[in-house]
C-alpha cells in the first residue's frame, strides 16, 4: 500500500497567492497600456481575502510559511501602492509615459533587493519519510528561493520533492553511514539552489 503525501493547504494557498500577485502585475500593465478597459479588481479582491484569512490564522503557520508569506505580502503591498497612485493620476487626467520601462526598472530593483535578502536555509533531515515537518520546511524554503529568483514553481509537487530528498539521503549514506544529512536552500548567481551534504 503506497502513501502519497498531500500538500499542506497553507502551502497551496501561498502558491496561489504568489501566482495571483504575478497575474495582478501583468493585468495592470495591460490596463495602463490600453490592452484592458478595466483594472484587475477581481484579482485584488482575491488577494485581500487571502490576506484576511492568513491574518486571522497566522499562528498556525510554520516559520518557513510565515517567512514566505511576509515576503509575498511586501511584494503585493509594493505593487498595490504603485498601481493605485498610477490609477489616481490616470483618473485625474495625468499622462502615463514610459510605464513599461519604469515598471521593469522598479521590478528589477525589487528583485535585486529580494535576492540579497535571502539567507541560506539549512535543515538536517535524516529520514524524509519519517520527518514530514522537516521536508515541508526544506520544500517551502526552496520554493521561496525559486520565487525570489523569478523561477517558476509550477509542477513542483511535494511528493516528488520528498522522493528527491530520499534519493539524496540514500546516496550520501553510502559515503558516510553515520553522518547527518543536511539540505541547504539558497540563491547562487541569481538562481535557486538546493544542496545536500554530510554535515561535519
pLDDT tens track for 91-141:
776 544 444 555 555 555 555 544 445 567 888 888 888 888 888 888 888
Summarised one tens digit per residue, pLDDT across range 25-36 is 888 888 877 777
- Rounded Cα distance between 146 and 155, Å, is 13
For the record, the C-alpha cell of 14 comes out as 501561498
Query: Measured on CA atoms in the order 63, 64, 65, 66, is the torsion positive or negative?
Result: positive
Q: Evaluate whether 17 touches 72 at the Cβ level (below 8 Å).
A: yes
With cut-offs at 50, 70 and 90, classify the pLDDT of residue 151.
confident
CA distances for 83 relative to 71, 89, 91, angstroms? 19, 10, 12
User: How many helices (H) and strands (E) in the chain?
Assistant: 6, 3
pTM of the model: 0.45
Q: Evaluate whether 59 touches 113 at the Cβ level (below 8 Å).
A: no
Amino acid at each position: 500500500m503506497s502513501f502519497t503525501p498531500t500538500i499542506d493547504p497553507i502551502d497551496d494557498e501561498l502558491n496561489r497567492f504568489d501566482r495571483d500577485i504575478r497575474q495582478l502585475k501583468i493585468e495592470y500593465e495591460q490596463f495602463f497600456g490600453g490592452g484592458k478597459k478595466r483594472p484587475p479588481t477581481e484579482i485584488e479582491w482575491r488577494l485581500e481575502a487571502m490576506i484576511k484569512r492568513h491574518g486571522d490564522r497566522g499562528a498556525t503557520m510554520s516559520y518557513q510559511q510565515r517567512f514566505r508569506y511576509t515576503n509575498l505580502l511586501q511584494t503585493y503591498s509594493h505593487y498595490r501602492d504603485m498601481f493605485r497612485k498610477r490609477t489616481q493620476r490616470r483618473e485625474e487626467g495625468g499622462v502615463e509615459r514610459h510605464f513599461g520601462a519604469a515598471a521593469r526598472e522598479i521590478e528589477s530593483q525589487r528583485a535585486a533587493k529580494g535576492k540579497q535578502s535571502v539567507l541560506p536555509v539549512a535543515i538536517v533531515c535524516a529520514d524524509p519519510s519519517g520527518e514530514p515537518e522537516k521536508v515541508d520546511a526544506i520544500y517551502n524554503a526552496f520554493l521561496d528561493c525559486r520565487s525570489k529568483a523569478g523561477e517558476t514553481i509550477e509542477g513542483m509537487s511535494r511528493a516528488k520533492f520528498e522522493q528527491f530528498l530520499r534519493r539524496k539521503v540514500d546516496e550520501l549514506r553510502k559515503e558516510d553511514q553515520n553522518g547527518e544529512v543536511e539540505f541547504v536552500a539558497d540563491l547562487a548567481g541569481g538562481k535557486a539552489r538546493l544542496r545536500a551534504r554530510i554535515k561535519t
